[in-house]
Structure 1
Amino acid sequence: MSKSKSVVLGMSGGVDSSVSAALLKEEGYDVTAVFMKNWSEEDDDGVCTAAEDYLDVVRVCEELGINHYTVNFEEEYKERVFSYFLSEYEKGRTPNPDVMCNTEIKFKAFLDFAMKLDADYIAMGHYARTLKKDNHTYLLRGVDENKDQSYFLSRVNEEALSKTLFPIGNFKKEEVRKIAEKYNLSTAKKKDSTGICFIGERDFNKFLDSFLFTKKGDIYSVDGEYLGEHSGLIHYTIGQRKGIGIGGVGSGEPFFVADKDLEKNRLIVAQGLGNPALYKSETICEEPFWITKTPTFPLRCTGKIRYRAKDEPMVVDVLNDELIVKFDNPIKGVTPGQILVFYDGDICLGSGIIK
């Protein structure tokens, strides 16, 4: 009888990775679960969620009869993800640390660790799929449109993806919960974690202020009218509506962040959702990254300017070592530092960082 394939599964303590473990075991893989410790500070209530999540990993592994380990990537995380997060905010941009965490930690540091254990594969509880075709590995969206996480994997290279299994990629969230109940897993009803892992449920602005210097400044309209005072440019992102603190002015419609003037420390706002200053018909992306192969340009595709954005039709072309992206329809809230992810149907082609 041939030896079963070994897989090292990244377990977070949530229902998705718990069900991934159960499915892999059912398929006959020799599963080893590994809890990645990337961050261990307490939240505002004095709770270290990493410690609680680890206990859930232990419980599920005992329920399934699989081995588990902890690996500490805190140093790598601070160097490769957290420092990037802070430097981007210092430049007045809005980064996506979850994309960087996948690129640098889960599919680099973790993959290296797993390969040292002579694993055949790594596995993750992401809602995504891979397709092996013509000696290539393609990244596909997850079947569950509401949970699809291909956006966050858009800067993971093909070699890493070729060694990765996504056991729940073909399932919808409600099906995953049912599978967890079928296996009597203790995480079956655990609520999904929200927000960036190192911030969790705590106050985002307060967290930023503890690491970065910020000072108050003026708020101006796109027409040059002084409207009030902002609390520090790092607290705002392009397209933001809540928390600007201007009311009862002009037409009475809400204000949205249109731009940030770092030199003058000014927040530029536009009134009304239909204000043309909030919309862009094109953008430049830096650091283009293509997962499987560089496409032929000009490239007609769809893309998402942030995780929860809808797919928009666009044309991508090369501009020196960057990309110029022209949208079929003007898009609101195109934000420097965010990731613009490109798709051909269900295939995730790659991404660029909005400049």
Structure 2
Amino acid sequence: MPKHRIVVGLSGGVDSAVTAYLLKKAGHEVVGIFMKNWEDDDDSEYCSSNVDFIDAAAVADVLGIEIEHVNFAAEYKDRVFAEFLREYQAGRTPNPDVLCNAEIKFKAFLDHAMRLGAEKIATGHYARVRYNDARARHELLKGLDPSKDQSYFLHRLNQAQLSKTLFPVGELHKTEVRRIATEIGLPNAKKKDSTGICFIGERPFREFLNRYLQTKAGPIKDERERTIGKHVGLSFYTLGQRQGLGIGGLKEKGAPRGGGEHAPWFAARKDMARNTLYAVQGHDHPWLLSHDLVFEDASWTADEAPAPGPLSAKTRYRQQDAACTLSLGEIQGTYRLNFSEPQWAVTPGQSAVLYDGEVCLGGGVIASTPDLLPQNSAPEAKPGRKAVLLGGDAR
């Protein structure tokens, strides 16, 4: 492999630290950049980029590389956080990490790295990039560690971005990354993995959203329109949610497993027009299962859509690939997926990501599923986009 000037996004975590080490060991000229992308209450216990920068600087010192502190907070607020709030206000559940990767890590950061004379950038994501000679294009592949694969979050990367990107730890398992970090004496070798929202951190989510959204309490109803509780604002709930509904209860003694009057309740539908949350009992209630979905705002790693036909897809990050058939949607720019087996709690706002084996093809934002709303509900179209029709439902 030719030697390159490579700018590595050093987050303060162990994955990006080992990424920088592996590239320097391979003989590349490595420069580290620490991205500061959130400024509100940054000195709080939930989100302190100062601590992460100290860790990143300590890594750079051990590795003997330069590190630059760059502030992308304005870009993050405009390109990612504003959309994040719009989606929640509309009752959908967005995935900010997907947008953050597309708009910040592989756009704002990539552009900055190129200005520094970089030939490539690298991050600590568990994914891989390879060039397919037969098809004359770069492909995004799953990371080799199936428990850590992050291709789902990277599915919006295009050919220009993939051609400039390296994911060294995507070739490794997490245990090996930790072993390397310990062996070479990295100060963050045992640092806990971050699981919070991209750059916002791990914090009480409802309390955080309350600072930015206007919400209104309303009823929680069951499928028979009986009021069974009260919600604190539809933005705070996601489909399939079990905890925090306030209508739980222990199963009656002697009731059959998975059923009975006190079986668990799950958020199943939102009626924005009537400010009503619908909940159902039982993990496998029909309202929680979908054979079809429509997605919009598609982005393809090959810069063009795959041919309609059999593929596999994920409708949320922590799930196995599910067999499906891709076809064009009824409205221009939309696509439809039909699954062999019903998918659980398919959620508008989340990403539907398509795969052909280990190759991530891209995907889009889930728009609707059949019967997502009660029949007497007036569904809401997303501002600035056409409503998507499917099975009598629109959004």
Do Structure 1 and Structure 2 share a fold, with TM-score over 0.5? yes
1:155 aligns with 2:163: no
Note the C-alpha offset of 1:45: 5.0
Size of the alignment, in residue pairs? 354
- SS for the counterpart of 2:170 is coil
Q: Does 1:326 find its partner at 2:338? A: yes
Letter of the 1:165 counterpart: L
Alpha-carbon separation, structure 1, partners of 2:263 and 2:42 = 36
Deviation at 1:43, TM superposition (A): 6.4
Checking the alignment, whether the CA contact within 8 Å between 1:43 and 1:201 is kept in structure 2 is no
1:337 aligned to 2:370? no
Task: Decide whether the 8 Å contact of 2:47 with 2:201 is kept in 1.
Answer: no
Contact 2:93/2:348 (8 A) holds in 1: yes
Deviation of residue 5 (structure 1)?
Answer: 1.5
Gaps of 5+ in 2: 252-259, 368-395
Q: What residue in structure 1 maps to residue 112 of structure 2?
A: 113
Distance 2:33 2:178 in 1: 21
Tell me how far 1:118 sits from its aligned partner: 1.4
Q: CA deviation at 1:334?
A: 0.3
Matched, 1:299 2:309: yes
Alignment of 1:166 onto 2:167: yes
TM (norm. structure 2) is 0.87
CA shift, 1:71, in A, is 0.9
Write the letter of the residue equivalent to 2:350.
Q
Q: Distance in 2 between matches of 1:218 and 1:296?
A: 43
1:35-50 to 2 correspondences below 5 Å: 35-42=34-41, 45-46=44-45, 48-50=47-49
- Counterpart amino acid of residue 106 in structure 2: F
Q: Does 1:189 align with 2:190?
A: yes
Distance (Å, rounded) in 2 between the aligned partners of 1:296 and 1:307: 21
State the superposition RMSD in angstroms.
1.7
Aligned to 2:387: none
Q: Which residue of 2 aligns with 1:349?
A: 361
1:1-355 equivalence runs, <5 A: 4-42=3-41, 45-46=44-45, 48-134=47-133, 135-248=136-249, 251-319=261-329, 320-355=332-367
Q: Deviations over 1:184-223 (max 9, x none)?
A: 0001011111110344221100000010011110011122
One-letter code of the match for 1:160?
Answer: Q
Q: Distance in 2 between matches of 1:344 and 1:158?
A: 17
Secondary structure in 1 matching 2:191: coil
Amino acid at match of 2:355: Y
Q: 1:169 is paired with a residue of what secondary structure? A: helix
Range moving further from structure 2, 286-295 or 310-319: 286-295
**Distance in 2 (alpha carbons) for counterparts of 1:192 and 1:104:** 22
SS at the partner of 1:137? Answer: strand
| Amino acid paired to 2:19 | S
CA shift, 1:147, in A, is 0.5
Which amino acid letter does the alignment assign opposite residue 185 of structure 2?
N
Deviation of residue 4 (structure 1)? Answer: 3.9
Cα distance in structure 1, aligned partners of 2:366 and 2:39: 30
Q: Tell me, what secondary structure is at the counterpart of 1:282?
A: strand
Q: CA deviation at 1:48?
A: 4.4
Instruction: State the SS of the aligned residue for 2:188.
Output: coil
* TM score, norm. by length of structure 1: 0.96
CA distance in 1, matches of 2:354, 2:67: 36
How far residue 225 of structure 1 moved from its aligned partner, in angstroms, is 1.4
For 2:295 and 2:81, the matched residues in 1 are separated by: 22
* 1:294 Cα deviation after fit: 2.9
> What is the alpha-carbon distance in structure 1 between the residues aligned to residue 15 and residue 22 of structure 2?
11
Task: Summarize deviations over 1:293-326 as a string: whole Å, max 9, x none.
Answer: 5345422111110111221110111123200111
Mapped contact 2:158–2:303 kept (Cα < 8 A) = no
1:223-274 CA distances to partner (integer Å, 9 max, x unpaired)? 2111111111111001111111113496210111110001110001111112
Provide closer, same or farther for how the CA distance between residues 171 and 268 of structure 1 changes in structure 2, counting only shifts above 3 A.
same
Amino acid at match of 1:316: L
Give yes or no for contact 1:217–1:232 (8 Å, CA) kept in 2. Answer: yes
Contact 1:121 1:164 in 2 (8 A): yes
Please state whether the residue corresponding to 1:168 is helix, strand or coil: helix
8 Å CA contact retained: 1:6, 1:121: yes
* 8 Å Cα contact 2:96-2:198 kept in structure 1: no
In structure 2, distance between residues paired with 1:261 and 1:48 = 33
User: Are the structure 2 counterparts of residues 313 and 47 from structure 1 closer, same or farther at C-alpha, using a change threshold of 3 Å?
Assistant: closer
Instruction: Work out the CA distance in 2 between the residues paired with 1:165 and 1:187.
Output: 22
Does the Cα contact within 8 Å between 2:221 and 2:227 map onto a contact in 1?
Answer: yes
Gaps of 5+ in 1: none
Tell me whether 34-43 or 135-144 shows the greater mean CA deviation.
Answer: 34-43
Is 248-257 or 203-212 further displaced after alignment? 248-257
SS in 2 for 1:71: strand
TM-aligned CA deviation for residue 340 of structure 1? 0.5
Q: Does structure 1 retain, via aligned residues, the 8 Å contact 2:47–2:202? A: no
